[in-house]
Amino acid sequence: MSAAALTCEIVIIGGGLAGMTMAAALGSAGISTVLVDRDTAETRLAPAFDGRTTALAFGARRLMQAIGAWDAMAAEAQPILDIRVADDNSPLFLHYDHSEVGDDPLGWIVENRHIRWGLLQRLGALSGTVTHLCPVMANHVERAPAGVTVTLSDGREITARLAIAADGRASPLRQQAGIATDRWGYGQQAIVCTVAHEDPHNGVAIEHFMPSGPFAILPMTDDAEGRHRSSIVWTEKERLVPYYMQMDSAGFELALRRKFGDFWGRVSVLPSAGAASGNERFTYPLGLMLARHYAGERLALIGEAAHVVHPIAGQGFNLSVRDIAALAEAISDARALGQDAGGAEVLARYERWRRFDVATLAGTTDVLNRLFSNTEPVLKLARDLGLAAVGKVPPLKRFFMRHAMGTVGELPRLMRGEPL
- Whole-model pTM: value is 0.93
Assess whether pLDDT exceeds 60 at residue 276.
no
At 146-182, the pLDDT tens digits run: 999 999 999 999 999 999 999 999 999 999 999 999 9
Whole-angstrom Cα distance, residue 209 to residue 217?
11
Q: Are 328 and 66 in contact (CB under 8 A)?
A: no
CATH numbers and ranges of domains, the chain: 5-77+109-183+287-416 (3.50.50.60), 187-286 (3.30.9.10)
Q: Are 373 and 69 in contact (CB under 8 A)?
A: no
Q: Which long-range contacts (CB under 8 A, 24 or more apart) does 383-390 make?
A: 383/87, 384/87, 384/90, 384/92, 385/92, 387/85, 387/87, 387/92, 387/93, 387/94, 388/92, 388/94, 390/94
Q: Cα–Cα–Cα angle for 360, 119, 220, nearest 5°?
A: 70
- 353-381: average pLDDT: 82
Assess whether pLDDT exceeds 50 at residue 360.
yes
At 57-67, the pLDDT tens digits run: 999 999 999 99
pLDDT at 315: 87
Average pLDDT across the chain, whole number: 91
pLDDT at 365: 86
At 130-147, the pLDDT tens digits run: 999 999 999 999 999 999
At 369-387, the pLDDT tens digits run: 777 777 777 777 777 777 7
At 286-345, the pLDDT tens digits run: 999 999 999 999 999 999 999 999 988 788 999 999 999 999 999 999 999 999 999 999
N-term to C-term CA, the chain: 25
Assess whether pLDDT exceeds 80 at residue 245.
yes
CA quadruple 370, 375, 381, 385: dihedral positive or negative? Answer: positive
